[in-house]
């Protein structure tokens, strides 16, 4: 999806297409017009890819079929030794998890498709990591907590889940993907994998999970995409005709 420079100006609940266009101008056009425009421009058109004269970075190396997405110009460099996943907010026992901490929690394997809202899909991807529900048990959400706010170490991307969604068994804090550690391009060392939802829910370079009292729509959701991104039950845009 195209990068937009105005994150700070976009707040509040999901907005309709006309308002998105008004707020964001050209940056939003690729998004609201949808996959055909993006395909014509060569697939995913992040600033990173536009900066690459070969254009082949639209596909992550390795032939997996994944496209590389980042709303920022640079992917963060994350050192495995100092990595921390900070989980706090409305919880009884806030905690920072190292990679070793995550590895010591029960591990879950899933094999599921990965589906981007713009149309591409990678079938039967193996994922492993810690169930979000298992991680949440470690910090004991308080009674007032109803939702999660997830933040990326890229400093720009955010996502949201209701606490109920986060407790599904197919929501994973993924440390492995495609049979190996999650690569930096794919959001390693730790990314979210929200199996029943479109790819924009699967936040890369996961750095923080904050338990909050109400859903705070994520990066693409503030630009008009559905907050509940169920594959097949959501067309990915809050305003699109039924």
Ligand X SMILES: Nc1nc2c(c(=O)[nH]1)N[C@H]1C(S)=C(S)[C@@H](COP(=O)(O)O)O[C@H]1N2
Among the listed residues 2, 14, 43, 199, the single contact to ligand X using CB under 6 A? 199
Binding residues for Mo ion, total number by CB under 5 A? 3
CB of 157 vs ligand X, minimal distance in Å: 3
Rounded Cα distance, 39 and 113, in Å: 21
Farthest CA pair distance, the chain: 52
The yes or no reply on residue 83 touching ligand X (CB under 6 A) is no
Rounded Cα distance, 62 and 66, in Å: 9
Residues 136-155 that bind ligand X (CB under 6 A): 152, 154
Selected range binding Mo ion among 34-42, 73-81, 116-124, 152-160, rule: CB under 5 A: 116-124
- Do residues 116 and 35 lie in contact, with contact meaning Cβ atoms separated by under 8 Å? no
Rounded Cα distance, 135 and 10, in Å: 30
DSSP 14: -
Cβ closest to ligand X, residue 15 vs residue 231: 231
Rounded Cα distance, 192 and 41, in Å: 28
- The binder of 160, among Mo ion, ligand X, none, by C-beta within 5 to 8 A per type, is none
Binding residues for ligand X, total number by CB under 6 A? 20
- The binder of 202, among ligand X, Mo ion, none, by C-beta within 5 to 8 A per type, is ligand X
Residues 9-38 that bind ligand X (CB under 6 A): none
Rounded Cα distance, 201 and 194, in Å: 6
- The binder of 129, among ligand X, Mo ion, none, by C-beta within 5 to 8 A per type, is none
Residues 6+ apart with CB under 8 A from 190: 83, 85, 99, 102, 129, 173, 174, 175, 182, 205, 206
The yes or no reply on residue 1 touching ligand X (CB under 6 A) is yes
Selected range binding ligand X among 6-14, 132-140, 200-208, 232-240, rule: CB under 6 A: 200-208
Q: What share of the chain is helix, strand, coil (3-state, %, to 5)?
A: 25, 25, 50
The yes or no reply on residue 116 touching Mo ion (CB under 5 A) is yes
Q: Which residues bind Mo ion (CB under 5 A)?
A: 116, 199-200
Which residues of this chain interact with ligand X, rule CB under 6 A? 1, 60, 66-71, 116, 152, 154, 157, 186-187, 199-200, 202-205
């Amino acid at each position: 999806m195209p990068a937009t420079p105005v994150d700070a100006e976009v707040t509040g609940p999901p907005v309709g297409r006309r308002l998105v266009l008004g707020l964001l101008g050209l940056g939003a056009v690729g998004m609201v017009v949808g996959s055909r425009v993006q395909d014509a421009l060569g697939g995913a058109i992040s600033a990173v890819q536009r900066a690459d004269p070969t254009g082949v970075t639209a596909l992550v190396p390795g032939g997996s079929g994944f496209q590389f997405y980042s709303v920022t110009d640079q992917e963060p460099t994350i050192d495995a030794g100092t990595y921390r996943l900070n989980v706090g907010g409305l919880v009884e026992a806030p905690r920072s998890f190292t990679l070793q901490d995550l590895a010591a929690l029960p591990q879950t394997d899933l094999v599921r498709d990965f589906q981007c809202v713009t149309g591409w899909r990678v079938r039967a991807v193996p994922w492993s990591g810690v169930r979000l529900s298992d991680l949440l048990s470690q910090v004991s959400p308080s009674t007032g907590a109803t939702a999660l706010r997830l933040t990326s170490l890229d400093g720009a991307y955010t996502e949201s889940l209701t606490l109920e969604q986060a407790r599904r068994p197919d929501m994973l804090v993924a440390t492995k993907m495609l049979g190996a550690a999650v690569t930096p391009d794919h959001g390693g060392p730790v990314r979210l994998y929200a199996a029943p939802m479109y790819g924009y829910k699967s936040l890369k370079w996961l750095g923080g999970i904050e338990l909050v009292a109400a859903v705070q729509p994520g990066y693409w959701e503030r630009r008009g995409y559905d907050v509940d991104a169920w594959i097949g039950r959501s067309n990915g845009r809050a305003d699109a005709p039924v």
